[in-house]
Structure 1
Amino acid sequence: MTIRPELIEKLRTQRAKLTENVSPEKLEALHAKGLLSARERLDALFEEGTFQELGLYATHAATAFGMAGRFLPADGVIAGNGYVGNTQVAAFSQDFSVVAGTLGKMQARKITRIMRHALKIGVPVVAFKDSGGARIQEGVDALSGYGDVFYANVLLSGVVPQIAVICGPCAGGAAYSPALMDFVIMTRNNAHMFLTGPEVIKAVTGRATTMAEVGGAEMHSTVSGNAHFVAEDDQHAIALVKQLLSYLPANNTEDPPHHLDVPIEEMEDPAINDCIPDSPSEPLDMYSVIRRIVDRAELLEVHAGFARNVIVGFARISGVVVGIVANQPMVMAGALDLNAADKVARFVRTCNIFNVPVVTLVDVPGFLPGVEQERGGIIRHGAKMLSAYGSCTAPKITVILRKAYGGSYLAMCSQEMGADMVYAWPTAEIAVMGAEAAVKILYRKELEKAEDRQAKAAELAQEYRDEFASPYVSASNFYITDVIEPQDTRWMVALALRKTLDKRELRPAKKHGNIPM
């Protein structure tokens, strides 16, 4: 049977009407701002010819207020799946050119359908958010739609990676969906994410503010911590998505994309010694150490602008995908505060979900003291780190470079918190507190009698380090695996990672633990 030509022509006309809804003039204006259209974003994400759309013809209910007869191409969202490299990915892209990308019941059905499809087949989800919020004309149906999306986000959480790319506005309740996802990327100049904008804030509180202050990418990446990455434009955002996917498995039952054909070379790296300051009181730049340890000095840093006293991100060590967690003594001496604790805990939990080994580099003087920290709940926030590391069953390798004092020693994944291997440099100091503070408490009377208190304090501090804080003391009590030379760190960690990749650790049967939120 031959299909009549007019039917083929009608099909092509219908598809063109639905897919070519943005004029060349509008496209040019978008490109001038660093924006892509909703369909262009998907074209840039997927390998050419691999995208298959879902629900192209779906549209809103004509019974909605004022919506009868209105033509909304694809109901304002393009959904489907394709390949990013060799990885199948499900994605949806909200179309701001269609009633400002607002969400109604049908748009929510399309979004949740592709999300549940991703759940069934076990593939990542990438969401391009560009929406004015709920579609007012649909009333409670729009709110119901958001509820469906949030529920789907929760169902997928811990099963497949979820990446949100905020390309334009993400207003009101819409902001909760990216907050429920694993990673949030915002474009620097075009993205805004907020519950209440400047006008509402001024009307309710009387305070004048700007969109950048309450919803901009810079604010969310440095102050609120809601954004993990800031991209310069849409193309850069898509490049970041591809980088992220290159470190993650398709789902929680698979291993990350390790390159196990990369050989482990037993090579010393004397240059790492140049990273260590001459004086213990001088801060060590942890980035310089990380670059010496990871492959090609490449770190995909997560939350780079937020809580900069700790560093977290993805890398490879001799081909093995790892999550790096490290103190940064160049900022706040590397002390742990409220935001740093949240940043580390969240990242460790993410690594554990997707079977990514965690390498922790320690140079920490303690938790940040202060009234604001105590009143802000540093106990509760610090406990999140203990909970995250303690519940993590992925391989955990810890290297203590210098300071590891008090509770922060435990919070940075000590042996007692489940580290599989703990190495220490000869420069490490592991103790309840720093030597200077300990001397003031333990040797107060001796100091009072000394003619030269400063010299006596220095002498006693060194005695304390040798007797109580030396890494050899911890090693003699089997609290650390080995004391190693800094130049051996890369290959020792690489070897430990290969040996723990098949680690299996069972936990008591339960629904889930209770996180100190």
Structure 2
Amino acid sequence: MEKVINELLEKRENAKFGGGKEKIARLHEEGFYSARERINMLVDPDSFLELGMLAHSDQVGSENKSAGDGIIVGLAKVDGRPAVVQAIDKTVFGGTAGIIHARKTESIHAFALKRGLPIFHLTEGGGLRMPDGMGSDGISQMLFPEELLLHRREVPMITGILGDSFGDPAWVAVSSDFATQRKGVSMAVVGPRILEVATGEKAAVEDLGGWKLHANTTGQIDHFGETEEECIQEMKRFFSYMPLNATEEPPFKATEDDPFRRLDEVVDIVPTRRAQVYDMKKLIKIIVDDGQYLEIKPTFGAALITVLARINGRVVGIIANQPMKYAGSAGPQECEKATEFICLCDSHHIPLIFLHDNPGFRVSRDAEKYKMPTKILIWNQALAQSTVPKISIVIRKSIGAAFANMCGPTMGADFVVAWPGAEINFTGPDVGINVVYGRKIEQSANPEEERAELLKSWGFDSSPYKAAAKYLLEDIIDPRDTRKFLAQTLEYACTKKGSKSERRLANWPTQF
């Protein structure tokens, strides 16, 4: 027995070094951590239970140089909560996916869904491995796993792109609820070498899928970090707002921050003059518990803010216009960002709060090229189908169709209220006059006088009192009572079954 135990221990010790100590040393020289070091950064001390440690490639001759077949999988505690963890090991065939690698991934994913455990991916690598995927038999075993395609957000998936990631790691990232990317590495379908061989096109790895591309253009990544430590810490922060699985609500977090705290600071933060800009993030900070929130996609569609936060201990998702960018008007990117965030929150039982301050949608020829009507309507469709509690507050203005997209009346909100100085209308009076009477003004002997007279007759009441009088709004609230109002209404809206939704949006494609 001693002999066989020692043999086992020797095999396990060798497996710890993946493709060898030299390759790990090379990773360190290049400024990267090994897969096991990344796992140790993520999980609670001594909590990792590894599965498949002694697996290896089934390719003849590769048995002794493919420990784990390029991926480490197991179970662990992350901040005291159970989870499944996967980490690609770049020291084994560059982190590419062979048949045994794929088998381990599919097995642990199935277990996570079966037992309701969230999944963490610490990833990099070159996608499908050759020769495992070659031939009709190879590719038939290596197609995209059905489990991932039918995931339906049953458990949260959280991914860190910590090294160059092509193929499989990219599929995982864009299928996840949250993905972070280390600056300086790339995520794309293929790497520069395959691109050049296949098409003749030469491209730098950063141009193919660097952080700036995803931050400002594609929106496929939610956060970017300078270091691996920062990225992993952000994965844990996101997890702190998530339920373990679809049967649970997100975790409450006790706070000493008074839910009825009066927001006297709003007087200085939000100007009444509608043309004057302010930072909506400052308002969010004073509304939420302890001033803490996690922003999703901060530079993509920057005229719209999406954050996870807590109010009186309960997790909430906040969608807010940002007057500092395009006056808060939403374009194609903002529409995509809003829809994706609504799907995230509805799938994981997170109530939604909308803070309006927008002059309408941002229209242009470029916006039309990016299917602006479609993107506006998809946002509306997602909102209409969502069933989590929703509370909507018009802070300063909400104009035109954007009033609906920000969960105005008829869009399923539990409560729609406004601050007393808010403006709600189809369009601003100046714009309306120019559209309807533009030619008449141009042909007038005194255009400015003509415009002024028309404005007097164009005296539609855009103040919220008119809508409140007809009970189209539930109330006009004192801005200083905004936190109190949200704390109270959230409690009542979540009385029947907590924040649990019907999860109608769980089946919407990620990155639609």
TM-score (norm 1): 0.90
Matched, 1:88 2:85: no
Are the aligned partners of 1:104 and 1:145 in contact in 2 as well (CA < 8 Å)? no
- SS of the counterpart of 1:250? coil
Matched, 1:164 2:171: no
| Aligned counterpart for 2:314 among listed residues 312, 320, 339 | 320
* CA distances 1:261-315 after superposition (whole Å, capped 9, x unpaired): 7575433222111112252112232111111211222221011121111110111
Describe the shift of the 1:29–1:460 C-alpha distance in structure 2 as closer, same or farther (beyond 3 A).
farther
Describe the shift of the 1:516–1:46 C-alpha distance in structure 2 as closer, same or farther (beyond 3 A).
closer
Deviation at 1:97? 0.3
| Aligned counterpart for 1:9 among listed residues 3, 6, 9 | 6
- Whichever residue aligns with residue 440 of structure 1, its letter is N
- SS of the counterpart of 1:422? strand
Q: What does residue range 358-369 of structure 1 map to in structure 2 within 5 Å? A: 358-369=352-363
Question: Match for residue 342 of structure 2?
Answer: 348
Are the aligned partners of 1:47 and 1:82 in contact in 2 as well (CA < 8 Å)? yes
- Whichever residue aligns with residue 83 of structure 1, its letter is K
Describe the shift of the 1:238–1:142 C-alpha distance in structure 2 as closer, same or farther (beyond 3 A).
farther
Partners of 2:190 and 2:69 lie apart in 1 by 25
Matched, 1:440 2:434: yes
Deviation at 1:45? 1.1
Are the aligned partners of 2:260 and 2:487 in contact in 1 as well (CA < 8 Å)? no
Q: What does residue range 13-24 of structure 1 map to in structure 2 within 5 Å? A: 13-21=10-18
Deviation at 1:510? 12
Question: Match for residue 101 of structure 1?
Answer: 95
Question: Match for residue 48 of structure 1?
Answer: 45
- SS of the counterpart of 1:156? coil
Question: Match for residue 407 of structure 2?
Answer: 413
- SS of the counterpart of 1:116? helix
Deviation at 1:422? 1.2
Describe the shift of the 1:128–1:468 C-alpha distance in structure 2 as closer, same or farther (beyond 3 A).
same
Describe the shift of the 1:446–1:219 C-alpha distance in structure 2 as closer, same or farther (beyond 3 A).
closer
- SS of the counterpart of 1:409? helix
Describe the shift of the 1:22–1:203 C-alpha distance in structure 2 as closer, same or farther (beyond 3 A).
closer
Question: Match for residue 77 of structure 1?
Answer: 71
| Aligned counterpart for 1:36 among listed residues 29, 33, 45 | 33
Q: Name the % identity.
A: 30
Describe the shift of the 1:145–1:193 C-alpha distance in structure 2 as closer, same or farther (beyond 3 A).
farther
| Aligned counterpart for 2:471 among listed residues 478, 490, 495 | 478
- Whichever residue aligns with residue 227 of structure 1, its letter is I
* CA distances 1:94-145 after superposition (whole Å, capped 9, x unpaired): 1000110110111011011111111011111011111111111112466445
Structure 2 gap ranges (5+): none
Deviation at 1:159? 0.6
Partners of 1:271 and 1:68 lie apart in 2 by 65
Matched, 1:502 2:492: no
Are the aligned partners of 2:309 and 2:315 in contact in 1 as well (CA < 8 Å)? yes
Question: Match for residue 184 of structure 1?
Answer: 179
Question: Match for residue 225 of structure 1?
Answer: 219
Describe the shift of the 1:373–1:448 C-alpha distance in structure 2 as closer, same or farther (beyond 3 A).
closer
* CA distances 1:130-163 after superposition (whole Å, capped 9, x unpaired): 11111111124664455343x2222323210001
| Aligned counterpart for 1:332 among listed residues 323, 326, 338 | 326
Structure 1 gap ranges (5+): none
Partners of 2:509 and 2:293 lie apart in 1 by 32
* CA distances 1:323-374 after superposition (whole Å, capped 9, x unpaired): 1111111111211111110001001110000000111111111121112212
TM-score (norm 2): 0.91
Are the aligned partners of 1:262 and 1:319 in contact in 2 as well (CA < 8 Å)? no
Describe the shift of the 1:421–1:208 C-alpha distance in structure 2 as closer, same or farther (beyond 3 A).
same
Matched, 1:241 2:235: yes
Deviation at 1:24? 6.0
Question: Match for residue 387 of structure 1?
Answer: 381
Partners of 1:310 and 1:425 lie apart in 2 by 20
Describe the shift of the 1:70–1:135 C-alpha distance in structure 2 as closer, same or farther (beyond 3 A).
farther
Q: What does residue range 197-276 of structure 1 map to in structure 2 within 5 Å? A: 197-199=191-193, 201=195, 208-259=202-253, 264-276=258-270
RMSD of aligned residue pairs (Cα, Å): 2.9
Question: Match for residue 147 of structure 1?
Answer: 143
- SS of the counterpart of 2:430? helix
Question: Match for residue 469 of structure 1?
Answer: 462
Partners of 2:495 and 2:12 lie apart in 1 by 49
Deviation at 1:399? 0.9
Describe the shift of the 1:390–1:48 C-alpha distance in structure 2 as closer, same or farther (beyond 3 A).
same
- Whichever residue aligns with residue 35 of structure 1, its letter is F
Describe the shift of the 1:226–1:515 C-alpha distance in structure 2 as closer, same or farther (beyond 3 A).
closer
| Aligned counterpart for 2:110 among listed residues 113, 116, 127 | 116
Describe the shift of the 1:241–1:209 C-alpha distance in structure 2 as closer, same or farther (beyond 3 A).
same
Partners of 1:261 and 1:297 lie apart in 2 by 11
| Aligned counterpart for 1:295 among listed residues 265, 289, 302 | 289
Partners of 2:96 and 2:138 lie apart in 1 by 9
- Whichever residue aligns with residue 311 of structure 1, its letter is I
Partners of 1:68 and 1:515 lie apart in 2 by 36
Deviation at 1:204? 6.4
- SS of the counterpart of 2:374? helix
Are the aligned partners of 1:136 and 1:142 in contact in 2 as well (CA < 8 Å)? no
Deviation at 1:21? 3.8
- Whichever residue aligns with residue 422 of structure 1, its letter is V
Describe the shift of the 1:77–1:422 C-alpha distance in structure 2 as closer, same or farther (beyond 3 A).
same
Partners of 1:463 and 1:257 lie apart in 2 by 54
Are the aligned partners of 2:19 and 2:67 in contact in 1 as well (CA < 8 Å)? no
Describe the shift of the 1:359–1:55 C-alpha distance in structure 2 as closer, same or farther (beyond 3 A).
same
* CA distances 1:2-25 after superposition (whole Å, capped 9, x unpaired): xx3222211111110111346666
| Aligned counterpart for 1:132 among listed residues 98, 115, 126 | 126
Deviation at 1:439? 3.2
Deviation at 1:456? 6.7
| Aligned counterpart for 1:397 among listed residues 391, 398, 404 | 391
Partners of 2:4 and 2:112 lie apart in 1 by 33
Deviation at 1:449? 10
Describe the shift of the 1:204–1:148 C-alpha distance in structure 2 as closer, same or farther (beyond 3 A).
closer
Partners of 1:170 and 1:515 lie apart in 2 by 19
* CA distances 1:38-57 after superposition (whole Å, capped 9, x unpaired): 01111111111111111111
Are the aligned partners of 1:108 and 1:148 in contact in 2 as well (CA < 8 Å)? no
Partners of 2:347 and 2:509 lie apart in 1 by 16
Partners of 1:516 and 1:57 lie apart in 2 by 36
* CA distances 1:371-404 after superposition (whole Å, capped 9, x unpaired): 2212321111111210111111111111111221
Describe the shift of the 1:306–1:77 C-alpha distance in structure 2 as closer, same or farther (beyond 3 A).
same
- SS of the counterpart of 2:143? helix
